């Protein structure tokens, strides 16, 4: 681990500690960060958090959007030989996948770490717990309106090939693609900032133990969120705009839905409804064109 190596060299000259002792100090430090601050800085979004995210999303042209989701790959230099096949894609080097949801101000709201590189993003999502609260009835309902239609499920923006809209002009589709690409890059910016702040995440991990690697990643995300909270005044421009728009969290909605199979399957079907996704995308195209299309004409 590069962070550990740096610490080894520093304490060797200043404190005369051995490498093993320094490594143990790093492990204790990582565990302490997780135990002391994990519940606060890797918490589920509160009602206030959701309302703020919805407000920012609506101002940027995406009502109902509460963040963007993507995967980052961390190279595992000392991956066990017996595991290299599942953690390597083709002739590439072994990597471990981090799936994360990030907001505009780079707070990482959700992190799922550990899948091998051979899984694509869709398979990682299927393994992760990103939608568990919704499926199990523990998430508050989010209501918003797009293009005159009401929706009741918030969404994340992700990458992928933008669809062709038969009912929209090329200019409308092009503007939508530009706006979505700009907003979707929030999570990529968060990954870049995370790597810039912590060299141990940027460079290949040298640890043999996957559990310790996961703890290092989790601790770095917690520290990143602490820094983001301290510097969040830089993003206050969105929070000072009056009016919350049409997006809001339903405070009267009961999250105590019986977690039986029928309810869970019904919610999962709604989450995976391709026709519903297509309708939402079409409405967003029209909404963004009405909101920002005049700027295109002026240019």
- pLDDT tens readout for residues 161-197: 334 444 456 788 889 888 998 898 999 999 999 999 9
* Consecutive H or E run containing 143: strand 142-146
Transcribe 52-79 into DSSP letters. Answer: HHHHHHHHTT-TTEEEEEEEEEEEBTT-
pLDDT number for residue 171: 85
DSSP 242: S
Q: Regarding predicted confidence, which is higher, 237 or 61?
A: 61
pLDDT number for residue 21: 77
pLDDT number for residue 215: 94
pLDDT number for residue 259: 59
pLDDT number for residue 187: 93
> pLDDT tier at 256 (50, 70, 90 boundaries)?
low
pLDDT number for residue 166: 41
CB-based contact 1:209 (threshold 8 Å): no
Give this prediction's pTM: 0.82
> pLDDT tier at 121 (50, 70, 90 boundaries)?
confident
pLDDT number for residue 119: 84
Q: Which of 100-104, 127-131, 163-167, 247-251 has the largest mean confidence?
A: 100-104
Residue 208 has pLDDT above 50, yes or no: yes
pLDDT per position as a tens digit, 2-60: 444 444 455 556 666 667 777 788 889 999 999 999 999 998 888 888 888 999 999 99
pLDDT number for residue 120: 81
pLDDT over 70, % of the chain:
79
CA distance 203 to 74: 8
Question: Cα Rg for the chain, rounded, in angstroms?
Answer: 22
3-state helix, strand, coil in the chain (%, to 5): 55, 15, 30
Instruction: Provide mean pLDDT across the span 202-230.
Output: 92
Instruction: Provide mean pLDDT across the span 235-244.
Output: 50
Residue found under tokens 């062709």: 164
Least confident of 5-14, 74-83, 144-153: 5-14
CB-based contact 247:144 (threshold 8 Å): yes
Residue 113 has pLDDT above 90, yes or no: yes
Taking alpha carbons only, the member of 59, 68, 61 closest to residue 238 is 59
């Amino acid at each position: 681990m590069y962070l550990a190596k740096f610490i080894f060299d520093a304490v060797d000259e200043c404190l005369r500690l051995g490498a093993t002792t320094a490594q143990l100090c790093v492990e204790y430090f990582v565990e302490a960060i997780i135990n002391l601050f994990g519940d606060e800085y890797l918490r589920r979004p509160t009602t206030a958090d959701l309302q703020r995210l919805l407000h920012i999303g609506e101002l940027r042209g995406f009502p109902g959007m509460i963040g963007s989701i993507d995967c980052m790959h961390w190279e595992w230099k000392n991956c066990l030989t017996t595991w290299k096949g599942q953690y390597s894609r083709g002739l590439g080097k072994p990597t471990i996948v981090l799936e994360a949801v990030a907001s505009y101000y780079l707070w990482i709201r959700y992190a799922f770490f550990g899948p091998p590189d051979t899984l694509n993003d869709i398979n990682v999502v299927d393994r992760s717990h990103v939608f568990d609260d919704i499926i199990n009835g523990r998430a508050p309902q989010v209501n918003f309106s797009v293009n005159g239609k009401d929706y009741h499920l918030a969404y994340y923006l992700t990458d992928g090939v933008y669809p062709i809209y038969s009912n929209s002009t090329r200019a409308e589709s092009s503007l939508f693609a530009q706006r979505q690409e700009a907003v979707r890059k929030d999570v990529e910016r968060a990954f870049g900032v995370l790597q810039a702040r912590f060299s141990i995440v940027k460079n290949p991990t040298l640890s043999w133990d996957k559990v310790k690697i996961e703890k290092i990643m989790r601790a770095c995300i917690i520290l990143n969120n602490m820094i983001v909270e301290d510097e969040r005044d830089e993003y206050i421009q969105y929070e000072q705009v009056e009016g919350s728009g049409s997006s809001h969290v339903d405070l009267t909605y009961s999250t105590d839905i019986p977690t039986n199979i029928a309810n869970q399957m019904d919610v999962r079907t709604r989450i995976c409804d391709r026709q519903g996704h297509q309708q939402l995308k079409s409405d967003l195209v029209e909404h963004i064109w009405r909101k920002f299309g005049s700027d295109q004409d002026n240019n």
